[in-house]
Structure 1
Amino acid sequence: MTAISSWAVVICIAAVICGVLELLAPSSRMNGILRFVFGGFMLCAVIVPLSEIDLDFSAVPPIEDISSSNIEIANEQSVEYVKKNMAELVKNKLSEISVEAEEILIDMDIDEDNCINMIKVRLKISAKDLELSEKIRSKIADELGLECLINK
């Protein structure tokens, strides 16, 4: 932390020196050249202290570890998001035929190519709606393209 604060002090001192020298310089054709020189001086004031900082990146995990764990986390989040949205779609389709599911489960997984595969929809419905089972299955299959299993 002291390296960063001393770096900030060096930049401030360099800026003050450049500002004072620019105010003292006569305005003439040399003004552009002086600004170029002051800009180079400021650039050196920024870069040189950074080259002296010893950064230790040994505690940072390898990129391979980070990316594989990120992919797994992203896959899990994707599956949960898709399951939630598919359950909402199924709920909406059921409401079109005045059926309310007690429970909607979406069985799905991710294959080796990181593609989401929906396997089936499992519904738990009330006994009074069991007579509509075939209509429910066909609606889910036709409109959402999913296999539907119904339990009471």
Structure 2
Amino acid sequence: MPGFMQIYCEGAASKKMNKDLNQDRIAVFFKNLSLDKRGEDLSIVSDQIKDKLFEKILNPEDCIWTNLVTPKNLQETFYFPQGNIDHIALTDKQMYFDRTFSLDPENNFYGFFNYEDIFYCGAGSYPCGSIAGTPGYMCSQQLIRLSQ
């Protein structure tokens, strides 16, 4: 059982954005599964997570589908290196706002070295990284600001 899980309740937000959605969705992310097994081979892990999560839900019997995606699944499906959703292992000088390739991070944080038209906002970038999309959004805001 993973020690730390990030839990995202996505149904309400999708409904607010006028998406055609009849169900709520709960996405659970955690790290530290090995690269040697696919999700379908780890039903015990999936069951443990559901049991823990369903303790907090009033109507767990309404769950219609689950899917455990492991690093092996991510590597095979999306070509993530070692199945790492952050794409890189973070080390010293790569934490938080140090995670830039810009030669001028104060004015062009998402710039890529000295290239004018290349920007770095992938899963390993700041903030949040992972698969949340926050760096891409923030990079777009930087581009809009710089173009005005």
Which structure shows the bigger proportion of residues in strand conformation? 1
Structure having the higher Rg: 1
TM-score, normalised relative to structure 1: 0.22
Which structure shows the bigger proportion of residues in helix conformation? 1
